[in-house]
Amino acid sequence: LYDFDPAAFDAHAHDFLRALRHPAHLNLFLAELKDEDVTRTEYPTTTTAVAATAATAGRPGEGGGGSLVGPAGLGGGGGGGGRDPHGAQRALQREMLAAGPRQADGTVDTGARPGKINHVCAVVRAAIEAVAPRRFLLSTLTTYVRQVPSGLREVLVVLKDLHVRDLKRQREQQQQKDAALLLGKVSAAAAAGSDGGGGGGGGGGTPGK
Protein backbone atom coordinates (compact mmCIF):
# COMPACT_ATOMS: atom_id res chain seq x y z
CA LEU A 1 0.00 0.00 0.00
CA TYR A 2 2.80 2.43 0.80
CA ASP A 3 5.65 1.41 -1.47
CA PHE A 4 3.75 1.61 -4.75
CA ASP A 5 3.14 5.35 -4.22
CA PRO A 6 4.48 6.82 -0.94
CA ALA A 7 3.34 10.37 -1.75
CA ALA A 8 -0.22 9.23 -2.43
CA PHE A 9 -0.31 7.25 0.82
CA ASP A 10 0.87 10.25 2.82
CA ALA A 11 -1.72 12.49 1.18
CA HIS A 12 -4.64 10.07 1.65
CA ALA A 13 -3.86 8.39 4.99
CA HIS A 14 -7.14 9.74 6.40
CA ASP A 15 -9.10 8.10 3.59
CA PHE A 16 -7.19 4.86 4.20
CA LEU A 17 -8.36 4.79 7.83
CA ARG A 18 -11.96 5.61 6.96
CA ALA A 19 -12.04 2.73 4.47
CA LEU A 20 -11.04 0.16 7.10
CA ARG A 21 -13.93 -1.93 8.42
CA HIS A 22 -12.08 -3.14 11.48
CA PRO A 23 -9.16 -1.65 13.48
CA ALA A 24 -7.44 -5.05 13.46
CA HIS A 25 -6.74 -4.59 9.76
CA LEU A 26 -4.69 -1.48 10.54
CA ASN A 27 -2.75 -3.35 13.22
CA LEU A 28 -1.93 -6.05 10.68
CA PHE A 29 -0.70 -3.42 8.22
CA LEU A 30 1.54 -1.85 10.87
CA ALA A 31 2.86 -5.21 12.05
CA GLU A 32 3.97 -6.14 8.51
CA LEU A 33 5.94 -2.94 7.87
CA LYS A 34 9.60 -3.32 6.89
CA ASP A 35 12.37 -0.81 6.29
CA GLU A 36 12.47 -1.82 2.65
CA ASP A 37 10.67 -1.23 -0.61
CA VAL A 38 8.70 -4.42 -1.22
CA THR A 39 8.29 -3.52 -4.89
CA ARG A 40 12.04 -4.13 -5.08
CA THR A 41 12.49 -7.01 -2.62
CA GLU A 42 9.30 -9.09 -2.66
CA TYR A 43 7.35 -8.05 -5.75
CA PRO A 44 9.97 -6.87 -8.25
CA THR A 45 8.13 -8.28 -11.27
CA THR A 46 5.34 -5.76 -10.74
CA THR A 47 7.52 -2.72 -11.36
CA THR A 48 9.87 -4.31 -13.88
CA ALA A 49 6.93 -5.48 -15.99
CA VAL A 50 5.75 -1.89 -16.30
CA ALA A 51 9.25 -0.70 -17.16
CA ALA A 52 9.74 -3.50 -19.67
CA THR A 53 6.43 -2.68 -21.36
CA ALA A 54 7.45 0.95 -21.70
CA ALA A 55 10.87 -0.02 -23.04
CA THR A 56 9.66 -2.47 -25.67
CA ALA A 57 6.92 -0.08 -26.78
CA GLY A 58 9.53 2.15 -28.38
CA ARG A 59 11.51 -0.58 -30.15
CA PRO A 60 10.92 -1.11 -33.87
CA GLY A 61 9.30 -4.43 -34.44
CA GLU A 62 8.53 -4.84 -30.74
CA GLY A 63 5.30 -2.98 -30.30
CA GLY A 64 6.23 0.52 -31.39
CA GLY A 65 6.21 0.72 -35.18
CA GLY A 66 3.10 -0.52 -36.87
CA SER A 67 1.60 -3.94 -37.05
CA LEU A 68 3.88 -6.75 -35.99
CA VAL A 69 1.96 -9.58 -37.56
CA GLY A 70 0.06 -9.25 -40.83
CA PRO A 71 -3.30 -10.79 -41.64
CA ALA A 72 -1.62 -13.93 -42.96
CA GLY A 73 0.67 -14.28 -39.96
CA LEU A 74 3.59 -12.67 -41.80
CA GLY A 75 5.65 -9.64 -40.80
CA GLY A 76 3.67 -6.41 -40.88
CA GLY A 77 4.53 -2.88 -41.78
CA GLY A 78 6.58 -2.22 -38.65
CA GLY A 79 9.50 -4.42 -39.68
CA GLY A 80 8.65 -6.93 -37.01
CA GLY A 81 9.25 -9.95 -39.21
CA GLY A 82 6.68 -11.91 -37.22
CA ARG A 83 8.50 -11.54 -33.89
CA ASP A 84 6.53 -12.08 -30.71
CA PRO A 85 6.27 -8.79 -28.78
CA HIS A 86 5.33 -10.58 -25.58
CA GLY A 87 8.40 -12.77 -25.81
CA ALA A 88 10.62 -9.72 -26.28
CA GLN A 89 8.98 -8.06 -23.29
CA ARG A 90 9.52 -11.09 -21.11
CA ALA A 91 13.15 -11.34 -22.21
CA LEU A 92 13.76 -7.70 -21.37
CA GLN A 93 12.02 -8.14 -18.04
CA ARG A 94 14.34 -11.04 -17.19
CA GLU A 95 17.34 -8.90 -18.11
CA MET A 96 16.15 -6.09 -15.87
CA LEU A 97 15.54 -8.45 -12.96
CA ALA A 98 18.98 -10.01 -13.39
CA ALA A 99 20.70 -6.63 -13.50
CA GLY A 100 18.69 -5.28 -10.58
CA PRO A 101 17.10 -1.85 -10.28
CA ARG A 102 19.46 1.12 -10.13
CA GLN A 103 19.52 4.16 -7.92
CA ALA A 104 20.19 7.70 -9.12
CA ASP A 105 23.94 7.30 -8.58
CA GLY A 106 24.03 4.14 -10.67
CA THR A 107 24.49 1.69 -7.82
CA VAL A 108 22.23 -1.34 -7.45
CA ASP A 109 19.05 -0.59 -5.50
CA THR A 110 18.78 -3.30 -2.85
CA GLY A 111 15.39 -2.03 -1.74
CA ALA A 112 16.49 -0.93 1.72
CA ARG A 113 14.52 2.08 2.98
CA PRO A 114 15.89 3.11 6.40
CA GLY A 115 13.37 5.13 8.37
CA LYS A 116 10.34 3.93 6.40
CA ILE A 117 8.71 2.29 9.43
CA ASN A 118 9.08 5.41 11.54
CA HIS A 119 7.70 7.60 8.77
CA VAL A 120 4.65 5.43 8.10
CA CYS A 121 3.92 5.09 11.83
CA ALA A 122 4.07 8.88 12.26
CA VAL A 123 1.75 9.44 9.29
CA VAL A 124 -0.75 6.84 10.50
CA ARG A 125 -0.63 8.14 14.08
CA ALA A 126 -1.39 11.70 12.94
CA ALA A 127 -4.27 10.42 10.79
CA ILE A 128 -5.68 8.45 13.74
CA GLU A 129 -5.68 11.54 15.95
CA ALA A 130 -7.62 13.41 13.27
CA VAL A 131 -10.08 10.66 12.33
CA ALA A 132 -10.93 8.36 15.27
CA PRO A 133 -8.49 8.26 18.20
CA ARG A 134 -10.75 6.14 20.39
CA ARG A 135 -11.53 3.58 17.72
CA PHE A 136 -7.88 3.13 16.74
CA LEU A 137 -6.38 3.39 20.23
CA LEU A 138 -4.66 0.01 19.96
CA SER A 139 -3.28 1.01 16.57
CA THR A 140 -1.82 4.17 18.10
CA LEU A 141 0.01 2.01 20.64
CA THR A 142 1.18 -0.25 17.82
CA THR A 143 2.73 2.69 15.97
CA TYR A 144 4.86 3.44 19.02
CA VAL A 145 5.86 -0.20 19.48
CA ARG A 146 6.78 -0.65 15.81
CA GLN A 147 8.93 2.46 15.49
CA VAL A 148 12.71 2.17 15.78
CA PRO A 149 13.77 2.47 18.54
CA SER A 150 10.59 1.22 20.15
CA GLY A 151 8.57 3.95 21.87
CA LEU A 152 7.60 2.03 25.00
CA ARG A 153 7.78 5.20 27.06
CA GLU A 154 5.19 6.84 24.81
CA VAL A 155 2.98 3.76 25.16
CA LEU A 156 3.08 4.08 28.95
CA VAL A 157 2.25 7.79 28.71
CA VAL A 158 -0.77 7.06 26.51
CA LEU A 159 -1.97 4.33 28.86
CA LYS A 160 -1.54 6.60 31.87
CA ASP A 161 -3.48 9.42 30.21
CA LEU A 162 -6.22 6.96 29.28
CA HIS A 163 -6.39 5.72 32.88
CA VAL A 164 -6.59 9.28 34.22
CA ARG A 165 -9.36 10.16 31.76
CA ASP A 166 -11.30 7.03 32.72
CA LEU A 167 -10.99 7.85 36.43
CA LYS A 168 -12.13 11.41 35.77
CA ARG A 169 -15.10 10.14 33.77
CA GLN A 170 -16.02 7.70 36.55
CA ARG A 171 -15.85 10.48 39.15
CA GLU A 172 -18.04 12.73 37.04
CA GLN A 173 -20.57 9.94 36.59
CA GLN A 174 -20.56 9.24 40.35
CA GLN A 175 -21.01 12.93 41.11
CA GLN A 176 -23.99 13.06 38.77
CA LYS A 177 -25.52 10.04 40.50
CA ASP A 178 -24.92 11.57 43.96
CA ALA A 179 -26.42 14.88 42.85
CA ALA A 180 -29.50 13.12 41.45
CA LEU A 181 -29.89 11.12 44.68
CA LEU A 182 -29.56 14.25 46.84
CA LEU A 183 -32.04 16.11 44.67
CA GLY A 184 -34.47 13.22 45.06
CA LYS A 185 -34.12 13.30 48.84
CA VAL A 186 -34.62 17.06 48.96
CA SER A 187 -37.71 16.81 46.79
CA ALA A 188 -39.13 14.04 48.96
CA ALA A 189 -38.47 16.02 52.15
CA ALA A 190 -40.04 19.13 50.69
CA ALA A 191 -43.13 17.18 49.64
CA ALA A 192 -43.43 15.60 53.11
CA GLY A 193 -43.14 18.99 54.81
CA SER A 194 -45.81 20.45 52.61
CA ASP A 195 -48.21 17.63 53.41
CA GLY A 196 -47.54 17.91 57.14
CA GLY A 197 -48.03 21.65 57.18
CA GLY A 198 -51.40 21.40 55.46
CA GLY A 199 -52.64 18.76 57.89
CA GLY A 200 -51.61 20.84 60.89
CA GLY A 201 -53.51 23.85 59.63
CA GLY A 202 -56.71 21.84 59.28
CA GLY A 203 -56.42 20.43 62.78
CA GLY A 204 -55.95 23.86 64.29
CA GLY A 205 -59.26 25.08 62.88
CA THR A 206 -61.40 22.48 64.67
CA PRO A 207 -61.37 23.97 68.22
CA GLY A 208 -62.62 27.33 66.96
CA LYS A 209 -65.90 25.93 65.75
pLDDT tens-digit map of 37-47:
888 888 776 55
Q: What is the pLDDT of residue 130?
A: 93
Are 112 and 142 in contact by the 8 Å Cβ rule? The answer is no
Mean pLDDT of 175-193: 74
Mean pLDDT of the chain: 73
**What's the count of helices (H) and strands (E) in the chain, helices before strands?**
9, 0
* Range with the poorest average pLDDT among 91-105, 112-126, 129-143: 91-105
* Range with the poorest average pLDDT among 11-15, 116-120, 173-177: 173-177
Read off the pTM: 0.54
Q: What is the pLDDT of residue 164?
A: 74
pLDDT over 70, % of the chain: 60
Question: In 16-40, which positions are buried (b, 16+ CB within 10 angstroms) versus exposed (e)?
Answer: bbeebeebeebbebbeebeebbbbb
pLDDT tens-digit map of 166-178:
777 777 777 777 6
Ramachandran assignment for 166, one of left (phi > 0), alpha (psi -120 to 50 degrees), beta (any other): alpha
